[in-house]
Amino acid sequence: MADILTYVLHYEGALNKNSLGAVSEGAKRAAEIGGECHAVVVGGDDLTDELCQTLGSYGATKVFRAQGPEGLAPPVIDVMAKVIEEHGHGYALFGGGLLGFEIGAGLAARRHAGVTMEVTAVRAEDGELVAERPILGDSKISVSHYRGGLGIIIGRINAFETSQAGEAAAEVVDVEIDYSPWSTQATMIQRGEQRGADVDIEGADILVAGGRGLGKAEGFQLAEDLAAAFGGSSAVAATRAVVDAGWYPYAAQIGQTGKTVAPKLYLAAGISGAIQHKVGMQSSENIVAINKDANAPIFEFSDLGIVGDLNKILPKLTEAVKAKKGS
Amino acid sequence: MKICVLVKEVPDAAVEKRIDPSTGRMDRSGEKNLNPYDTHAIEAAMQLREGGAVDVDEIVAVTMGPESAVRALHKAVSLGADRSVHLSDPSLAGSDVAATGYALSKALESEQPDLVLLGQQSDDGECYTIGAVVADHLKMPSLTQVIKMDVEDGALRCERQAEYGYDTVSVALPAVISVGDAINEPRYPSLKAIMGAKKKPLGNVTAGDVGIDAALVGADGSRVQCGEFKDPPAKAAGQIIEDENTAETVEKIIAWLDERKLI
């Protein structure tokens, strides 16, 4: 019998979808091991009683609420460590995303606990939780068992589905906390800044996505030309690496910290297919990849892979699509 | 200012990685290289030194691993580190990420750095996590996946992408910062630097030297037990075309798309 503690991230009064997935998953697994699922929230006045109580519909019975800075991991580590110390939770569960990784790892250090990241499935086995994590480019699944009083599970993004089964409001418990000196040494100057033009990639049927293989910012012209040739509901998307490099706007980013898409056709040009990218597009109906490196991981999960120079292939493909559309 | 850069030896990207069935651990034999993300951390340290906003007295590369890990240190000093520290001890083998972070934090404690830099992930395993483990043990603030870092009023002004867009965070020193690959373009080491790398000071330390509690490291001190593996659900392999004649290749792509009514 063990209770599960989750962390719920919020921004401007809305709860994070991956966090709600963690609460939903935690509630299901807690029921299997005879415990309850609880949640921790840290923030300001937008964490109203009403907002916190809604976590009950996802299966949380208690919500521990602390006043503190938002969007940074160390204060949350302090709060979760205190709640776990006082209530003896057996597991801490995170829905993935950058803060989940940071908090989970810091909590493992603080509480001398085991931590598994990029988890895609959690199971109950003999009254204990077991975490499954794909490794080696998703070619194997490693199974984690935990020793000691606390096991920490950090999900891969989108790994846990949200489900609103319950109706009861969660009990809200306010936590008084003295933050560790080092937890207040990082301060948010600006949060959630949007950079670049707004692009709608989530609604598109056809996405032409570009990565580092496009060579430079101007290389995106090739992707834009192809998307334009497809016409209709098509758009251009990008990997995190090229967005960070300033080649394409943030709003077009697919993957771990970007958007999750599932178009009818996902055409990846010059994208190697790192896990962080894969998690944002693997549900696409058809995946076509063009890459000059025959060993690129993307070929392992594409339906059609072309090993070749995209600078030669893309312009000709654009012409051929135009010709086909015109015929 | 003294900067420590955590580096790691990883299997070369071109080498196929596998699990050793006899130990249940990753087979780390074969061609090795410095974790590519760590080269960005060293470059970030070099740019702080060259930027002039702060005096960088020393850049120290630190690694934990078996004897072969010394090559990662040689690479690190050829890229600009002044000296290196190799934490190596049989008792550390089999440490999970929490135990590894603890051991590294003890090695760092002996160095008393003002800033610890590392790559945001390693090519071969643990993602995003080691920096946060190390930071909590050192009681320092930390930030991961940083893509821009400047010194401002004695603190670091860092930018990164988080769940809701770009965040800008001020981090007081001492601190632990893990950097993303977009933060810089690492330089190539000069031939002279490569030749001179083995002459730069290299300190070998054991677990006992830095006060590591043996009960908290190694396979026995780790709180995660791995060693059980299974295969993921099989996925049908896709079709692969080697582009030899681009006109033909494009024809095949069009036919494939047409068959699926995607045009």
Show pLDDT as tens, one digit a residue, over chain A (327 residues): 699 999 999 999 999 999 999 999 999 999 999 999 999 999 999 999 999 999 999 999 999 999 999 999 999 999 999 999 999 999 999 998 889 999 999 999 999 999 999 999 999 999 999 999 988 778 889 999 999 999 999 999 889 999 998 778 999 999 999 999 999 999 999 999 988 766 778 888 999 999 999 999 999 999 999 999 998 889 999 999 899 888 999 889 998 778 889 899 999 999 999 888 998 999 899 999 999 999 999 999 999 999 999 999 999 999 999 999 886
Nearest residue in A to B229, CA atom: A142
Which residue ranges make up each domain of chain A? Answer: 4-184, 206-326
Whole-prediction pTM value? Answer: 0.88
Shortest Cα distance, chain B CAs vs residue A227, angstroms:
11
Q: Which tens digit of pLDDT belongs to each residue from A119-160? A: 999 999 999 999 999 887 788 899 999 999 999 999 998 899
Interface of A with B in 143-202 (CB under 8 A): 143-148, 150-151, 154, 180-183, 185-195
Cα separation, A235 vs A252, whole angstroms: 9
- Backbone phi, psi, residue A123, to 5°: -130, 155
Asked if the C-beta of B147 comes within 8 angstroms of chain A's C-beta atoms, the answer is yes
For an interface test with A, give the residue of B146, B223, B245, B256 to mutate (most A CBs within 10 A).
B223
pLDDT surpasses 80 at B171: yes
A206-326 and A4-184 share a CATH fold: yes
- Pick from A11, A109, A134: CB nearest B136: A109
Cα(A111)–Cα(B120) distance, integer angstroms: 23
CATH fold of A4-184: Rossmann fold (3.40.50)
Tell me the C-alpha distance between B99 and A114, whole Å: 9
- B-proximal residues of A, 205-224, CB under 8 Å: 206
The region that residue A325 occupies, defined by phi over 0 for left and psi between -120 and 50 for alpha, beta otherwise, is: alpha
Cross-chain Cβ contact B139/A147 below 8 Å: no
Chain B touched by A74 (CB under 8 Å): yes
B223:A117 CB<8 A: no
| In contact, B216 and B104? CB cutoff 8 Å | no
**C-alpha distance from B84 to closest chain A C-alpha (Å):** 25
Judged by a CB distance cut-off of 8 A, whether residue B28 touches chain A is no
The end-to-end CA distance of chain A, in Å, is: 67
Q: Domains in chain B, please, with CATH?
A: 2-221 (3.40.50.620)
Is the ipTM here above 0.85?
Answer: yes
Contact flag A306-B142 (C-beta cutoff 8 Å): no
Q: Sheet harboring B224-230: ordered strands across?
A: A121-125, A128-135, A140-146, B224-230
- The pLDDT assigned to A232 comes to 82
Pick the CATH number of A206-326 from 3.40.50.1220, 3.90.1860.10, 3.40.50.300, 3.10.310.10: 3.40.50.1220
A166 Ramachandran zone, left/alpha/beta (phi>0; psi -120 to 50): beta
Rounded average pLDDT over B144-152: 94
Say yes or no for a CB contact (<8 Å) between A303 and B238.
yes
For residue A9, list chain B residues with Cβ-Cβ distance below 8 A: 163
pLDDT at B123: 66
Cα distances (angstroms) measured from residue B99 to each of A102, A109, B247: 16, 8, 55
- Lowest mean pLDDT, pick from A190-199, A276-285, B101-110, B165-174: A190-199
- Long-range interactions of A198-203: CB distance < 8 A, separation 24+: A198/A249, A198/A251, A199/A235, A199/A236, A199/A249, A199/A251, A199/A252, A200/A235, A201/A235, A201/A236, A201/A237, A201/A251, A201/A252, A201/A254, A201/A259, A201/A261, A202/A259, A202/A260, A202/A261, A203/A233
Which residues on B lie below 8 Å from A104 (Cβ)?
Answer: 129, 132
List Cβ neighbours of A125 (8 Å cut-off, separation of 6 or more): none
Identify which of B65, B109, B215, B88 has the alpha carbon closest to the alpha carbon of residue A112. B215
CB atoms inside a 10 Å sphere around CB A165: 10
d(CA A25, CA A325): 46
Q: How many Å apart are CA B62 and CA B205, to the nearest integer?
A: 10
E-state strands within chain A: 4-7, 10-11, 14-15, 37-43, 60-67, 91-94, 114-119, 121-125, 128-135, 140-146, 151-155, 171-174, 186-193, 206-210, 234-238, 265-269, 286-291, 304-307
Chain A CB within 8 Å of residue B148 CB = no
Residue of B138, B163, B169, B212 to mutate when probing chain A, most A C-beta within 10 A: B163
Q: Which of B10, B121, B136 should be substituted to probe chain A, the one whose Cβ sees the most A Cβ atoms within 10 Å? A: B136
Grouping H, G, I as helix, E, B as strand and the rest as coil, residue B191 is helix
Which ranges of A48-146 does DSSP label H, i.e. alpha helix?
49-53, 73-87, 98-111
The confidence score (pLDDT) of residue B12 equals: 72
Q: Do A72 and B258 touch (CB under 8 A)?
A: no
Q: How far is B77 from chain A (nearest CA, A)?
A: 26
Q: Do residues A156 and A118 touch, judged by C-beta distance below 8 A?
A: yes
Task: Quote the tokens at residue A151.
Answer: 């096991």
Tokens of B14: 């071109």
Distance between CA atoms of residues A143 and B151, nearest Å: 42
